[in-house]
Structure formats: C-alpha cells, structure tokens
Amino acid sequence: MGDAAEATVAAEATVAAVAIKLPEFWQGQANAWFHTVEAQFAIRKITDDTTKYYYVVSALGSETANNIQGLLNAPPGTGKYDAIKKELIGTYEMSDRQKKKRLLALDGLGDRRPTELLRYMKTLHAAEKDDTLFMALFLQQLPQQVRLVLAAQDFDDVDKLAATADDILAEQSFQEANAVQRKKPWQGSRPAQAPPTSGYCFYHFKFGPKAKSCRPPCTWAGNAPASHH
C-alpha cells in the first residue's frame, strides 16, 4: 500500500473514531448494550482491540467502573475488549434462573401498556409467538376487564394479542373519560342546591346576609314573602 493510500486509511479511521459516541452502559441490559456498541463499531469499521476497550471504559458510569475496578486496574495485555465485555455481562446480566424468577414474579400491568409489558417479558424469556404457556402468563398480567374481552377471541400470536389489548384499554379509557364528563354537574345559569337540611336557599346558604337574591323555599330570618322570586 502506498503512502497516499495509507494516509487515506489513517484519516478515515480518525474521522470514524471522532464520530463515535457510545451511550452510557445500561446496567440492567448489558447484552443489549453491547449489541448497540458493536453495531457502532461495525459501521465505523473500528476493529482494534485496545480502541474498542477504551471506548467501553469511557462509557461506564462511576458505579459501574467501581464494580469492575479490578479489571480496569490490570487489564490483560491482549483481548482487552473481550475481557471487559465478559466482566460486564457477568456482573450485570441476569442468569437464566434469575430471569425466570423475575418473569414468574410479575405483578400486573403497572403503568405500562400491554405491548410494553410484552417487550419486557421477552427480555426475560425468548418465547415463540405461539407459545401458549407464555401467552397465558402474559394474559395473567392484564386487568380482568381486558381478559374478559380477549377471552371471546382466538389468538395464536402473542404480539397480536398484546396489540389488541392496547386497543381495548385505550377504548375503555376513552369510555370512562366520557362517562366522567357526562356525570359532571351542569354548569349553566341554574345555581347549585344548598344542603336540604340547612333550610336556606342556595344564595343565603352561600352568601348569608350579603345574598342579593333568594329562591324559595328559604327560612332565612327576616325574609319578606315578596323577596322570594
């Protein structure tokens, strides 16, 4: 390779290196984080072991760095990237047993949509779309009113099941909002009513002696019969 070609390759490598910025390490999703990182390395043609190692180190938060301090203090002479990848995944990625325990300990939908819950469940268990046991476990996490609607339909795809559950919840929320709106007291010119045990009309109940109007029946002291209109 000539000097000009070598200079071009070096320049391209420098530009690629300057352009890359890794997201901070995801402690709860170590494997997913490395998939993202390695995609960036591939796009920018970064293959040098030491370069990849230092990029990973630069993306560690203080807590993560402290937890693998032994490796950072004495990295191996070769295979640095593979070593730090193994260390981080071993420290932060859940074992299969831990994932199954977390999957079985799920307690409802929480503030997630059904499709969001399903995505999380898939990080804990790589189920096929038509896995009936996994589908049943997913259904258990949904509100009862959603399960009742879904029970009338047949599904052989958990993704379609979750999408339908999203639609059902959205429709139910819309109907509930409309019902609340219809129950709101009428806000026109007719005044609200005073408690029936007070004996006063709304105006005297609210404004007392400052009331400028009165509506029968009203037992406010000093009321002249003519004042009731």
Give the model confidence (pLDDT) of 39-94 as tens digits: 999 999 999 999 999 999 999 999 999 999 999 999 999 999 999 999 999 888 88
Note the pLDDT of residue 227. 43
Phi, psi of 112 (to 5 degrees): -95, 155
| C-alpha span between 64 and 77 (Å, rounded) | 22
As a whole number, mean pLDDT of residues 143-167 equals: 92
Q: Who wins on pLDDT, 176 or 77? A: 77
- Work out the mean pLDDT of the chain and round it to a whole number: 82
Helical residues (DSSP H) of the chain, grouped into ranges? 3-19, 30-43, 49-58, 62-67, 69-73, 80-92, 96-104, 114-124, 132-140, 144-150, 158-183, 202-207
Longest Cα–Cα distance of the chain, Å, equals: 113
The residue among 223, 179, 171, 183 whose CA lies nearest residue 199 is 223
Instruction: List, in order, residues 6 or more apart from 144 with CB less than 8 Å away.
Output: none
Residue pair 161/143 in contact by the 8 Å Cβ criterion: no
The string over 129-151, giving b where at least 16 C-beta atoms fall within 10 Å of a residue's C-beta and e elsewhere, is eeeeebbebbbebbeeebeebbe
Q: What is the pLDDT of residues 198-219, one digit of tens each?
A: 577 776 666 777 777 777 778 7
As a whole number, mean pLDDT of residues 19-27 equals: 88
* Number of C-beta neighbours around residue 202 at 10 A: 19
| C-alpha span between 48 and 161 (Å, rounded) | 45
Note the pLDDT of residue 226. 41
The residue among 117, 116, 99 whose CA lies nearest residue 108 is 117
| pLDDT of 11 over the 60 cut | no
| C-alpha span between 114 and 138 (Å, rounded) | 9
* Number of C-beta neighbours around residue 173 at 10 A: 10
As a whole number, mean pLDDT of residues 216-229 equals: 59
**pLDDT tier for residue 183 given thresholds of 50, 70 and 90:** low
* Number of C-beta neighbours around residue 105 at 10 A: 7
DSSP 190: S
| C-alpha span between 172 and 169 (Å, rounded) | 5
Q: State the pTM of this model.
A: 0.53
Q: Who wins on pLDDT, 3 or 108? A: 108
The residue among 20, 28, 99 whose CA lies nearest residue 61 is 28
